[in-house]
Amino acid sequence: MQIKVETRPVRTMETEALVSYVFEEENPIRGRATELDQAAGGALRKLAASGELTGKALEMTLVHYPSAAAAQRILLVGAGKREKYNLADLRKIAGAALRYLKGRKVSGFVFLAREDDANAAAAQVITEALLVANFESDKYKTDKKNDEDVDAVGLAGFDASAAEAGIARGRIIAEAQNFTRELVNEPSNRMTPRMLAERAAAMARESGLACEILDEKRIEELKMGALLSVAQGSGEPPRMIVITYTPPQARPGAPVIGLVGKAVTFDTGGISIKPAEGMEKMKYDMAGGATMLGVMRALAQLKPAVKVIAVVPATENMPGGRAQKPGDVQISMAGKSIEVINTDAEGRLILADGIAYAKQLGATHLMDAATLTGAIVVALANVNVGVFGSDAAFTERLLASARAAGEKMWPMPLDDDYREMIKSSIADIQNVGSGKGGGAITAAMFLKEFADQTPWIHLDIAGTAWLDEAKPWAAKGASGVAVRTLVDVVMNWSSDQK
């Protein structure tokens, strides 16, 4: 999809649709929206006066063949209350407008920003929203209902150079998020650990990033016993994907960010097998890994001044004849022994070795993303990402980035008291919590043991990486959650360093 700055006067724009937004109780319509009202021959004011147009969040008012405009349609999207309005609302407005028009076979339109949004940050948000909204999950449908993507959008109401900057940055970030979504949407027979590694290597090659794929032999040599224990139940061999971004001005002793992502390309649960109902969804258990690959793709283009290493352990979790069994003890790369009480708690096992390896490669600050627990869905539903951090300042940075990126994330506790729950009677640690409750927290506590003294943040995206139903602004399927936030953390880090 093309996105360009549009500078023609509103009334003369020949386009399939002219889109803008109005606030609740904005009656009569004010400011820049009055241009649209004039273009509609006063129809919008009348609709507002009659109560049909209220400005309630994401209300859609479509006027066909406006009498005083060259445009074929005017679409006015409700923006909700002005006092509560922010860029997260603008993101939804732009995305929902695109999907609404796309459903009406519109292939191009102009989006007119309001006065207060005539800046680079808003242009970036709109661009991201449009590209994310245009993405569909119907790759394997031969009869593509949503085939007709929108192919051109003009952004109006901006100072051209500010808009250009926002569009360029927004495109990089949205394309990275969609890259992640593409990987996550693939079924497990088309996204085995080896295939994921190939896709990662191809992305790295195209992006100019260094990439190393460790095969099962190297994984064994490096004594990654926790990753191997999960992989041993499958006929598909595991891979450890390592992608490195090195800034042009790398300084010795500078911090190195390690991004570790869980990539279980299918999670049957192993011998602790999952129920059949809903098991097909466990193809998205590689979303954490795909998130980190998307982040690296964006960073390659945004070129931060900080070194970043992505480490993505990839495996299936299968109940094959050689599968590990409940009660088995495994020795992780870090040397810690783990009693595997439940083979379905496999994510933390592979992340244990991923974290250890990222540290060995020099990471001084760690962030991981994983579809780790059903318990995070109990705690936060499908709304917020669960955020666990060992370092208050680092965690606060991440939460600030989440707000800036328009992604809902919520801090969770990591008190030492929870450590008791993952004590094993025969090994250093066990892979599930004893007693009741706190499943997302005990999982995070397990990871913390491996991060140890290195500042670390864990994102549990089990509830947010997949949309069971479409949103007005996004197709159902993979959401690509956390890509934007993590890119923002790294970019802010970079500008603070300079």
Of residues 82, 194, 274, 476, which has the active-site annotation? Answer: 274
Among Zn ion, ligand BES, none, partner that 462 touches (CB below 5 to 8 angstroms by kind) = ligand BES
Q: Is 407 one of the binding residues for Zn ion (CB under 5 A)?
A: no
* Identity of the residue, 15 or 430, whose beta carbon is nearer to ligand BES in the bound complex: 430
Minimum CB–partner distance for residue 269 and Zn ion (Å): 5
* Identity of the residue, 324 or 371, whose beta carbon is nearer to ligand BES in the bound complex: 371
Among Zn ion, ligand BES, none, partner that 486 touches (CB below 5 to 8 angstroms by kind) = none
* Identity of the residue, 266 or 473, whose beta carbon is nearer to ligand BES in the bound complex: 266
- Residues 336-365: x/- map of binding to Zn ion (CB under 5 A)? --------x-xx------------------
Of residues 73, 348, 359, 397, which has the active-site annotation? Answer: 348
Minimum CB–partner distance for residue 156 and ligand BES (Å): 41
Angle between helices 120-134 and 160-185 (to 10 degrees): 30
Q: Which stretch binds Zn ion (CB under 5 A): 121-129, 241-249, 259-267, 463-471?
A: 259-267
* Identity of the residue, 98 or 260, whose beta carbon is nearer to Zn ion in the bound complex: 260
* Identity of the residue, 39 or 184, whose beta carbon is nearer to ligand BES in the bound complex: 184
Q: Is 217 a catalytic residue?
A: no
* Identity of the residue, 185 or 371, whose beta carbon is nearer to ligand BES in the bound complex: 371
> From the list 267, 339, 460, 488, which residue makes contact with Zn ion (rule: CB under 5 A)?
267
Q: Is 285 one of the binding residues for Zn ion (CB under 5 A)?
A: yes
- State which residue has the least CB distance to ligand BES: 374
Among Zn ion, ligand BES, none, partner that 301 touches (CB below 5 to 8 angstroms by kind) = none
Minimum CB–partner distance for residue 33 and Zn ion (Å): 48
Minimum CB–partner distance for residue 344 and Zn ion (Å): 4
Minimum CB–partner distance for residue 458 and Zn ion (Å): 14
Minimum CB–partner distance for residue 471 and Zn ion (Å): 24
Q: Is 274 a catalytic residue?
A: yes
Q: Is 136 one of the binding residues for Zn ion (CB under 5 A)?
A: no
Among Zn ion, ligand BES, none, partner that 374 touches (CB below 5 to 8 angstroms by kind) = ligand BES
3-state secondary structure the chain: CEEEEECCCHHHCCCCCEEEEECCCCCCCCCCHHHHHHHCCCHHHHHHHHCCCCCCCCCEEEEECCCCCCCCEEEEEECCCHHHCCHHHHHHHHHHHHHHHHCCCCCEEEEECCHHHCCHHHHHHHHHHHHHHHCCCCCCCCCCCCCCCCCEEEEECCCHHHHHHHHHHHHHHHHHHHHHHHHHHCCHHHCCHHHHHHHHHHHHHHHCCEEEEECHHHHHHCCCHHHHHHHCCCCCCCEEEEEEECCCCCCCCCCEEEEEECEEEEECCCCCCCCCCCHHHHHHHHHHHHHHHHHHHHHHHHCCCCEEEEEEEEEEECCCCCCCCCCEEEECCCCCEEEECCCCCCHHHHHHHHHHHHHHCCCCEEEEEECCCCHHHHHHCCCCEEEEECCHHHHHHHHHHHHHHCCCEEECCCCHHHHHHHCCCCCCEECCCCCCCCHHHHHHHHHHHHHCCCCEEEEECCCCCEECCCECCECCEECCCCHHHHHHHHHHHHHHHC
* Identity of the residue, 213 or 461, whose beta carbon is nearer to Zn ion in the bound complex: 461
Integer Cα distance of 169 and 404 in angstroms: 14
Binding site for ligand BES (CB under 6 A): 267, 285, 342, 344-347, 371-375, 432, 439, 462
Active site residues: 274, 348
Positions in the binding site for Zn ion (CB under 5 A): 264, 267, 285, 344, 346-347
